[in-house]
Copies of this chain bind each other. A is one copy, B any other.
Amino acid sequence: MNEATTWPFEVGPLDVRDYECDLQGVVNNAVYLNYLEHARHRCLIDLGLDFADLHESGCDLVVTRAEVDYRQPLRSGDQFLVRTRVGRSGKIRFAFDQIILRAADERLMVEARIVGTGILDTDKGRRPGLPQQLQDKLDEADQTSGG
């Protein structure tokens, strides 16, 4: 991931909760997906889009691919930050780049790329696609973070 990457959205510091740790005493690998999703949904809200409202209105945002690199494990007692950047990935997909840092020293714990799309009601049934509202926001975000 480019050193110069900017991270327009940050969530945290959040506490690791003890029930999120497994019998090795570290946060379970699936739980980071929870953290990442929570940060994406907060990021969407900052963009004016609400995951639950979108569902109610007939548009489901879904993950189509997740790539997650686990660098170091979070542990009981740790706090963490999730930094997020969103952009388009082709015509009908969005891509989130996300990192999870330990709050105390901003050490990189997890790096992820999450790609997704929307599932929309159309004349031909439910089809993949991005709602106009989200396309606009993604185009805007691309420009803002714009490099």
Interface residues of A (CB under 8 A from B): 15, 17-19, 21-26, 28-31, 33-34, 37-38, 41-42, 50-52, 55, 60, 62-70, 73, 75-77
Chain B residues in 8 Å Cβ range of A33: 29-30, 33
Which of A23, A31, A55, A69 has the most chain B CB atoms inside 10 A of its CB? Answer: A23
Contact of A52 among B18, B51, B63 (CB under 8 A): B18
Given A18-B38, A28-B19, A34-B30, does the pair A76, B51 have CB atoms closer than 8 Å? yes
Q: Which residues of B contact A38 (CB under 8 A)?
A: 15, 17-19
Q: Is the CB–CB distance between A64 and B70 below 8 Å?
A: yes
A61 nearest in chain B by CB position: B24
A39 to B85, CA, bound (A): 31
How long is the Cα–Cα vector from A29 to B55 in the complex, in angstroms? Answer: 16
